[in-house]
Amino acid sequence: MGLLDARISNRNVLVTSVDNVMNWARLSSLWPMGFGLACCAIEMMATNASNYDLERFGIFPRSSPRQSDLMIVAGTVTMKMAEKVVTLYEQMPEPRYVLSMGSCSNCGGPYWNHGYHVLKGVDRVIPVDVYVPGCPPRPEALIGGLLKIQELVRMEGIGVSRQEALKKLAEKSVDPQQVIGQARKATA
């Protein structure tokens, strides 16, 4: 096994092409769980409907966690719901991804300071891969978030863990402050 491990981490031709095929298959059929919680769920429905049509990306909501590999937490997670979210997450098969959609599931959103019954961020109970901001996010933003998930899937591979993939992506990413600064200079 040690030999095999070494070979895999060396990323030879065989492994990388298998990786590519696998990742291609996985990222072009991301099945999210149709799991609407609040306002964002309506925008998620609008994204699934005719005008934005997520099926272009092979994304089609499934009703059962057993059949899905992506969980879109669309809306406010409350204390009463938190345990159910964990249960649903645990029922999903590996590899699974979580997209936190909207301010409420990112960090409690508008309900972060006095909302006694609101979970302040779904990342307190389950690991989140991509955070989509907005209250509620436009369908464009949700699609952008899903493309980010696809990017993450593309980075992963045999012997490359999620953390390493994220690290690689972080290296590639640009600081939003710089982008804003450039935009500011351009407008000035």
Partner 1 sequence: MPAAVQQSKAAYDIIRERFGEAVSECDANPTMPFFEVADTSKWADIALFMRDDSRLKFNYMACLSGVDYMEQGQLGIVCNLESIGGPTHKIAVKVKCARDGGSIPSVSCVWHTANWHEREAYDMYGMTFEGHPDHRRILCPEDWTGFPLRKDYQVQETYHGIKVPY
Partner 2 sequence: MSEYFSNIKTGASTIATGMAITLKHFFNAVKRKGDAGIDDADYFKQVDGLCTLQYPREAVPTPAIGRYRLHMDAEDCIGCSQCERACPVECITIETIKVTADDLAACGKTSGGQQKRFWLPVFDIDVAKCMTCGICVSVCPTDCLVHTPVADFSEFDVSNMLYHFGNLTKIEADAKRRKLEEEKAAKEKAAAEAAARGEAPARPAPKPKPAPGPQPDGGKAGE
Partner 3 sequence: MQELGKADLNSTRIIPQGDNRVVIEKDLDTEYMVLSMGPQHPSTHGVLRLECITDGEVVVEAEPYLGYLHRCFEKYCEKVDYPGIVPYTDRMDYLAGINNEMAFCITVEKLLDIEIPRRVEFIRVITAELNRIASHLVAIGTYGIDLGAFTPFLFCFRDREHILNLLEWISGARMLYNYVWIGGLSYDVPADFKKRVDEFVTYFKPKVVELYQLLTTNEIFVKRTKGIGIMPADVAINYGWSGPMLRGSGVDWDLRRNDPYSVYPELDFKVALPDPKFCEIGDSLARHLVRAIEIDESLKIIEQCLDKMPEVDGFDPRAAIPKKIRPKAGEVYGRAENPRGELGFYIQSDGKSTKPLRCKARSSCFVNLSAMKDLSKGQLIPDLVAIIGSIDIVLGEVDR
Residue ranges in contact with partner 3 by CB under 8 A: 33-39, 41-43, 45-46, 49-51, 63, 75-76, 78, 80-81, 84, 88, 110-111, 113-118, 135-136, 138
Selection from partner 1, partner 3, partner 2, none that 41 binds (CB < 5 to 8 A by kind) is: partner 3
Selection from partner 3, partner 2, partner 1, none that 32 binds (CB < 5 to 8 A by kind) is: none
Q: What is the 3-state secondary structure (H, E, C) of the chain?
A: CHHHHHHHHCCCHHHHHHHHHHHHHHHCCCCEECCECCHHHHHHHHHHCCCCCHHHHCCCCECCHHHCCEEEEECCCEHHHHHHHHHHHHHCCCCCEEEEECHHHHHCHHHCCCCCCECCCHHHCCCCCEEECCCCCCHHHHHHHHHHHHHHHHHCECCECHHHHHHHHHHHCCCHHHHHHHHHHHHC
Of 15, 45, 125, 169, the residue at the interface with partner 1 (CB under 8 A) is: 125
The footprint of partner 2 (CB under 8 A) covers 50-53, 56, 100, 103, 106-110, 112-113, 121, 123, 128-135, 137-141, 143-145, 147-148, 152, 166, 169-170, 173, 176-177, 180, 184, 188
